[in-house]
C-alpha cells in the first residue's frame, strides 16, 4: 500500500490569465482521484488545496523559497480561519501559497486574489489535522514591471500590523536545499542601488545544512517603502552550487 504524506504551499507568481481556476494542473495530475482530501478547487476561482502523491517540478532543483513572513506572531494551534496580511504592490493578481516545511510531505494550498488585495482569511479545516502551524511556510507574490521587464515581486506575509515607528523591519525567509550544502551565502541590495549591496555574499555560518531541511534567515531591511533584491546561494557538499536566483521583495509602511 502506498504511503501517503502531506505538504503545504501559499503563493508564487504564476503566469497571468488563469483567473478561472487557481489550481496548478501539474499538482492536480499527481492527486489521487478517490481521495476526498486531494488537491482540488475548494472555492471557485480563488482556492485550491489538498494532498498529492509525489514531488512536482517547482519543489526541487535549486534553493526553494518556502516562506517569507514579516512580524508574524508564532501560533501553536490553528484558528478556524487564519488572517493573512501583506502590503500590496503593482496592479496584477496576488498569489499565495502555503508550503509544508516537513520533508516528504505533499500537500498544497494555492490562493489567487484580485489585484490590490491586501488580506485574506484562510479556512484551516483541511490542514488543521495534517500539519502544525510551525510546519507551514507562507509565500505571497504578484507580478509587476520593474526595470522595464515583468518580474515576480514577493510580498512578505504578516499577521499583526507593523509599528510605524520602526526604522528597520525584521523578515523571516526560509529556503530549502535539494542536497546537503557546505555553506550558504546571502546578498541583499536596494534594487535602485544594486552596485552597493547591504550584504554582499555574506556566509550564514550555521555549520550544518542537511538536504530537504529548512534554512531560516533573518532579514533586517529599512522600513521605508522600497524594492530590495535578495539572493541566497549555497555550495553543495559534493560539488557545484545551488541558488534562489535574485528575487525582489517589496517592503512598505
Of residues 178 and 17, more confidently modeled: 178
pLDDT at 6: 36
Question: Which residue range forms the structural domain that includes residue 187?
Answer: 25-251
Q: Which pLDDT band, with edges at 50, 70 and 90, does 84 fall under?
A: very high
**Is residue 14 situated within a structural domain?**
no
**Is residue 245 situated within a structural domain?**
yes
The predicted-structure confidence for 25-43, as pLDDT tens digits, reads as follows 999 998 988 888 999 999 9
Which pTM was predicted?
0.86
Query: Is residue 122 packed enough to be buried (19+ CB in 10 Å), middle (13-18) or exposed (0-12)?
Result: buried
Mean pLDDT of 202-222: 95
The predicted-structure confidence for 149-189, as pLDDT tens digits, reads as follows 999 999 999 865 444 445 678 899 999 999 999 999 999 99
Query: Is residue 163 packed enough to be buried (19+ CB in 10 Å), middle (13-18) or exposed (0-12)?
Result: exposed
pLDDT at 204: 98
Give the Å distances, CA to CA, from 28 to 50, 111, 158, 160: 9, 15, 28, 33
Sign of CA dihedral 17, 69, 203, 64: negative
**Is residue 15 situated within a structural domain?**
no
Residue 76 has pLDDT above 80, yes or no: yes
Q: Which of 219, 227, 230 is nearest to 252 (CA)?
A: 227
Total tally of structural domains belonging to the chain: 1
pLDDT at 132: 94
Query: What is the overall mean pLDDT for the chain?
Result: 86
Integer Rg of the chain from CA? 18
**Is residue 1 situated within a structural domain?**
no
**Is residue 111 situated within a structural domain?**
yes
**Is residue 18 situated within a structural domain?**
no
The predicted-structure confidence for 86-138, as pLDDT tens digits, reads as follows 999 989 999 999 989 998 899 999 999 999 999 999 999 999 989 999 999 99
**Is residue 13 situated within a structural domain?**
no
**Is residue 110 situated within a structural domain?**
yes
Residue 74 has pLDDT above 80, yes or no: no
The highest-confidence range among 65-69, 160-164, 218-222, by mean pLDDT, is 65-69
Amino acid at each position: 500500500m502506498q504511503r501517503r504524506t502531506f505538504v503545504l504551499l501559499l503563493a508564487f507568481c504564476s503566469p497571468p490569465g488563469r483567473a478561472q481556476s487557481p489550481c496548478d494542473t501539474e499538482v492536480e495530475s499527481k492527486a489521487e482521484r478517490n481521495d476526498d482530501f486531494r488537491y482540488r478547487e475548494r472555492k471557485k476561482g480563488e482556492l485550491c488545496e489538498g494532498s498529492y502523491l509525489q514531488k512536482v517540478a517547482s519543489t526541487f532543483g535549486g534553493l526553494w523559497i518556502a516562506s517569507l513572513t514579516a512580524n508574524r506572531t508564532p501560533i501553536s494551534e490553528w484558528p478556524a480561519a487564519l488572517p493573512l496580511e501583506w502590503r500590496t504592490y503593482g496592479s496584477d493578481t496576488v498569489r499565495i501559497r502555503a508550503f509544508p516545511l516537513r520533508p516528504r510531505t505533499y500537500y498544497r494550498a494555492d490562493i489567487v486574489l484580485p489585484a490590490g488585495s491586501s488580506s485574506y482569511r484562510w479556512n484551516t479545516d483541511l490542514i488543521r489535522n495534517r500539519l502544525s502551524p510551525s510546519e507551514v511556510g507562507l509565500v505571497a507574490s504578484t507580478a509587476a514591471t520593474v526595470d522595464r521587464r515583468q518580474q515576480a515581486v514577493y510580498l512578505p506575509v504578516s499577521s499583526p500590523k507593523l509599528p510605524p515607528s520602526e526604522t528597520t523591519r525584521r523578515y523571516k525567509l526560509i529556503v530549502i536545499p535539494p542536497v546537503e550544502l557546505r555553506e550558504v551565502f546571502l546578498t541583499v541590495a536596494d534594487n535602485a542601488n544594486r552596485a552597493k549591496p547591504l550584504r554582499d555574499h555574506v556566509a550564514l555560518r550555521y555549520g550544518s545544512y542537511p538536504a530537504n531541511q529548512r534554512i531560516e534567515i533573518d532579514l533586517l531591511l529599512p522600513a521605508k517603502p522600497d524594492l530590495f533584491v535578495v539572493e541566497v546561494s549555497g555550495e553543495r557538499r559534493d560539488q557545484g552550487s545551488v541558488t534562489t536566483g535574485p528575487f525582489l521583495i517589496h517592503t512598505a509602511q
